[in-house]
Amino acid sequence: MAKFDRITCIPTILNGQPTIRGMRLTVRRVIEALALYPNWDDLRREYPEVEPEDIRQALEYAARETACRRCD
């Protein structure tokens, strides 16, 4: 089981959506940004507060969240 120590769900921040280290930056936004900036260095220039481990955990978290879902 992965340890997501950089993914936080705090009810008072963005209604409890999964965020990066309690910042107002959601896991979803990081994944969307990766679609625009597939090069991590480009993404980090746009979001300098994001660290490589944040990106890695966001990707793994998103993969696990969608692992049990089916498209009908």
* pLDDT at residue 71 in the model: 65
Domains and CATH numbers, the chain: 10-66 (1.10.10.10)
Q: CB neighbours (10 Å) of residue 31? A: 15
Q: What is the pTM of this model?
A: 0.86
Q: Which residues contact 29 (CB under 8 A, 6 or more apart)?
A: none
Q: Per-residue confidence of the chain (72 residues) as pLDDT tens digits?
A: 578 999 999 999 999 999 999 999 999 999 999 999 989 999 999 999 999 999 999 999 999 988 776 666
Tokens 């692992």 correspond to 67
